[in-house]
Amino acid sequence: MSRRGKIWLGVVGGFAALVASIVVFFDWNWFRPYAEAQAAAELGRPVRIGHLDVKLAREPTIIVDRFEIGNPPEFPEGSNLAEFERMVFTVDLNRYWRTGVLFFPEMSVTRPVLKLETDAAGKPNWVLDRFKPSTSEANAATTPEIGRLNVENGHVSLNDPKSKTSVDMSVSTEPDPKGGDSSIVIRGKGRYANARTQFEARAGSLAAFRDVTVRYPVDLIWEVGNTRAHIVGTVLNRTNLAGIDGKLEVSGPDMALLYPMTGIPWPSTPPYKLAGHLWHSGTLVHFDKFDGRVGSSDFTGSLAVDTGGPRLVLTGEFASSKTVLADLAGFVGGEPGKAEAKNATPQRKAAAQKEVSDPKALPEKKVGLERLNEIDAHVIYRVRRLESDYLPLDDLTAKLDLVNGRLRLKPLNFGIGKGRIAATVDLDARRMPARWDIDADFRNIDLKRILQKNSSTFDGAGLVGGRAQIVSTGQSAADVLGNGDGHLTLAMTSGQISALLTELAGLDFLEALGFAMSGKDKQFGIRCMVLDAGIQDGVLRTNSLVLDTTDTNIAGTGWVSFRDETLGIKLEAHPKDPSLLSFRAPVHVSGTLKNPKVGIDAAATGARVGAMAVLGALLTPLAALIPTIELGLGKDSDCSGLIDQAARSSQQADPSKKATPAPQNAQDPTKGQKARR
């Protein structure tokens, strides 16, 4: 080799040695300020890198130690959103030069820590204003991609005082027992909406995430208190990790406890378990073809929720082949479910014991009606068979519309044999206390079924019709009745009533007791029964109460106070035929709705006016009720004729004659007291 060649060889060798020395000994931390500035500009947050190193190769390996992402300025200085002890990732430069897409074939993250929290105003620190995933296809095509991801000992904490939520989570990748790619696993526990919570989420590998021909799987179990939701499905939108299509199973002691999880103000229910198809995309959530049980009732249907407006909008159609009325008690503030049911909660059993000793009959539990302003709803509910311990109901149809805090139930229909109760409910929850307007028609209700359902002693038959109206305010059944104004008209015709009840009203207690002991009860026909009463400030006061049987005419006056649940009713019997025991003293009914007391006013015996004269005096004001009676019983009922006859007979009666006064031994709650509203 010539001397010149040796010189060039030495120069090239020296340069190669210099390059090799630079590569080996070069301190990549010189690039830290640049890397920090670029990352901070992209994230809109302070970024700090503890150490930076690069191992050059066809696919260079980048090593970052102590990588930190700071919080917004509103948070304490020096606090961080995220900290990573070490990140190691390879870069496919060849793919980047060919496609412009930054691809990391493998990334390993050691001890990542994310501290998600909100400031005093409720603003979260995890919303990165300058880093928002793009939904456009063009930008999504240039989004960095990760091949194999390994996460070791990750930890995420979430602290949101406003929602009373504090959760600690572990994040890691776990190998597939079948030999496939590792799954991402997140486990957490803590408090959610001030209730104990825990959850476990498993997602597919990133390889499965990149493959659009494979449905990306997710499996989530979430428990809040004793409420449990299990979702198994696939992600719909891979770009934004949004939307899901799968199966949902949800169960718990009370659907009202779903409010923090769903934002839907469900009424209180007994224990439930439902399963169906869950579909979520964008602002729409569907829970379709679900079925299960709520208390002792079966439940099927579909619902959809739109979360895109100022309030949630729920639409749904629900059905049941059998519903127990006690399971619906939460709608009126009662404790739902049957105490003897197998799935009855300890709270329901305790409530049943309390009901026995509680002197009050009306539910006083307040319903959270203010939440009705948070959601709009349009729901249809149909029950094929409705079971009740006290009412012989057959079926139920309800259509609910809730818009801007105003709820309307129209229709709300209950079937009783060939008869029906047709009601409408208008509830205005835009102000508190909420305002109620309730109107119910009773048409051809079979008295025999009601008596058979509630009594083994009394027997009877007949058709009952009428109308009830009440306008009130309140958040419980006790409030609504205790504050109400309205009217009640009931009439019965074409029936029979047991001699036992008739003789009790006439104070023939010895004969009545004989019937009860021997069972030799007999029936008396009923021409007509009419009750007409007004309701003012929660007190129902009779305008007329008349029961005209083939044996005895019974006239009554008095009041029922729903404010304090007391009674003051007086009944007088006017026999049509002489009796061996013709001692007929007025009967006083007093006490409370829960414990009524029957007493005898023995000193009030005396001359009796004729039965028709009594009917004439009492029924004359009821001529205006004929349209209501005909609506409830039909135009051919005996009551219309009786009222007409009584009105004609009363033309000769003293027009100044007053109705029988209220019982002397029962104080009228409306006298000497200021009306409570």
577-625 tens-digit pLDDT = 555 444 456 778 889 988 888 776 655 554 444 545 555 555 555 555 6
For 414, the token pair is 């209950």
> Is 646 within the bounds of a domain?
yes
> Is 564 within the bounds of a domain?
yes
> Is 430 within the bounds of a domain?
no
Asked if 150 contacts 173 with a C-beta cutoff of 8 angstroms, the reply is: yes
How many domains are there within the chain?
2
C-alpha distances out from residue 664 to 77, 569, 654, 660, 668, Å:
79, 10, 24, 11, 9
In the listed set 104, 123, 157, which residue is the last one of a domain according to the structure?
Answer: 157
Distance of CA 626 to the CA centre of its chain: 41
Q: What is the pLDDT of residue 509?
A: 40
Eight-class DSSP state of 598: E
Q: What is the pLDDT of residue 24?
A: 55
- Class of residue 266 by CB neighbours under 10 A (exposed 0-12, middle 13-18, buried 19+): middle
Helix axes 611-619 and 638-649, enclosed angle (nearest 10)? 100
Query: Cα–Cα distance between 109 and 83 in angstroms, integer?
Result: 11
Residue 220, strand partner residues: 201, 231
The whole-number average pLDDT for the span 550-558 is 77
State the number of CA atoms in the 13 A half-sphere of 432 facing the CB: 10
Whether 629 shows a pLDDT value over 80: the answer reads no
Query: Cα–Cα distance between 352 and 375 in angstroms, integer?
Result: 32
Q: What is the pLDDT of residue 163?
A: 86
In 161-294, beta strands by DSSP E:
165-174, 183-192, 195-203, 217-224, 227-237, 242-252, 272-281, 284-294
CA angle 667, 669, 673 (to 5 degrees): 120
> Is 470 within the bounds of a domain?
no
The whole-number average pLDDT for the span 64-83 is 89
Whether 141 shows a pLDDT value over 60: the answer reads no
Whether 55 shows a pLDDT value over 80: the answer reads yes
Query: Cα–Cα distance between 573 and 513 in angstroms, integer?
Result: 18
- pLDDT band for 326, please (50, 70, 90 cuts): confident
Whether 503 shows a pLDDT value over 70: the answer reads no
Which one of 249-263, 457-471, 486-500 scores highest in mean pLDDT?
249-263
Q: Which three-class secondary structure state does DSSP give residue 390?
A: coil
Backbone angles phi, psi at 675, to 5 degrees: -60, 135
Q: Which contiguous run of DSSP H or E holds residue 57?
A: none
Query: Cα–Cα distance between 303 and 109 in angstroms, integer?
Result: 42
Asked if 147 contacts 104 with a C-beta cutoff of 8 angstroms, the reply is: yes
Q: Which domain holds residue 98?
A: 18-133+142-157
In the listed set 157, 191, 213, which residue is the last one of a domain according to the structure?
Answer: 157
Q: What is the pLDDT of residue 138?
A: 46
Whether 207 shows a pLDDT value over 80: the answer reads no
Whether 137 shows a pLDDT value over 50: the answer reads no
Q: Tell me which residue has tokens 């479910």.
A: 337
> Is 169 within the bounds of a domain?
no
Q: Which three-class secondary structure state does DSSP give residue 334?
A: coil
- pLDDT band for 358, please (50, 70, 90 cuts): confident
- Class of residue 479 by CB neighbours under 10 A (exposed 0-12, middle 13-18, buried 19+): buried
In the listed set 87, 122, 157, which residue is the last one of a domain according to the structure?
Answer: 157
Whether 171 shows a pLDDT value over 50: the answer reads yes
Residue 413, strand partner residues: 397, 422
- How long, in residues, is the chain? 677
Share of the chain above pLDDT 90, in %: 33
Whether 168 shows a pLDDT value over 60: the answer reads yes
- pLDDT band for 498, please (50, 70, 90 cuts): low
Asked if 165 contacts 264 with a C-beta cutoff of 8 angstroms, the reply is: no
Helix axes 638-649 and 626-633, enclosed angle (nearest 10)? 160
CA angle 435, 407, 485 (to 5 degrees): 30
Of 228-242, 342-356, 408-422, 553-567, the one with minimum mean pLDDT is 342-356
Which one of 163-177, 521-535, 566-580 scores highest in mean pLDDT?
163-177
The whole-number average pLDDT for the span 639-664 is 51
Who wins on pLDDT, 126 or 166?
Answer: 166
Sign of CA dihedral 445, 449, 455, 457: positive
Asked if 329 contacts 363 with a C-beta cutoff of 8 angstroms, the reply is: yes
Which one of 344-348, 462-466, 609-613 scores highest in mean pLDDT?
462-466
Distance of CA 15 to the CA centre of its chain: 78
Q: What is the pLDDT of residue 461?
A: 64
> Is 627 within the bounds of a domain?
yes
Asked if 174 contacts 183 with a C-beta cutoff of 8 angstroms, the reply is: yes
Asked if 365 contacts 476 with a C-beta cutoff of 8 angstroms, the reply is: yes
Sign of CA dihedral 128, 129, 130, 133: positive
Q: What is the DSSP string of 425-461?
A: EEEE-SSSSPEEEEEEEEEEEEHHHHHHHH-SS--EE
C-alpha distances out from residue 554 to 391, 516, 544, Å:
25, 21, 11
Q: What is the pLDDT of residue 572?
A: 78
The whole-number average pLDDT for the span 368-380 is 91
C-alpha distances out from residue 303 to 166, 290, 361, 625, Å:
31, 9, 35, 43
> Is 592 within the bounds of a domain?
yes
Q: What is the pLDDT of residue 26?
A: 64
For 515, the token pair is 């019937």
Q: What is the mean pLDDT of the chain?
A: 78
> Is 87 within the bounds of a domain?
yes
Whether 145 shows a pLDDT value over 90: the answer reads no
The whole-number average pLDDT for the span 350-367 is 74
Of 409-413, 610-614, 641-645, the one with minimum mean pLDDT is 610-614
Asked if 104 contacts 87 with a C-beta cutoff of 8 angstroms, the reply is: no
Whether 18 shows a pLDDT value over 60: the answer reads no
For strands 523-536 and 227-237, give the pairing: unpaired
Q: What is the pLDDT of residue 656?
A: 45
- pLDDT band for 514, please (50, 70, 90 cuts): very low
Quick: pLDDT tens for 22-52: 555 567 888 888 888 988 887 888 999 999 9
Distance of CA 334 to the CA centre of its chain: 13
- pLDDT band for 677, please (50, 70, 90 cuts): very low
C-alpha distances out from residue 107 to 31, 161, 185, 206, Å:
21, 34, 16, 11
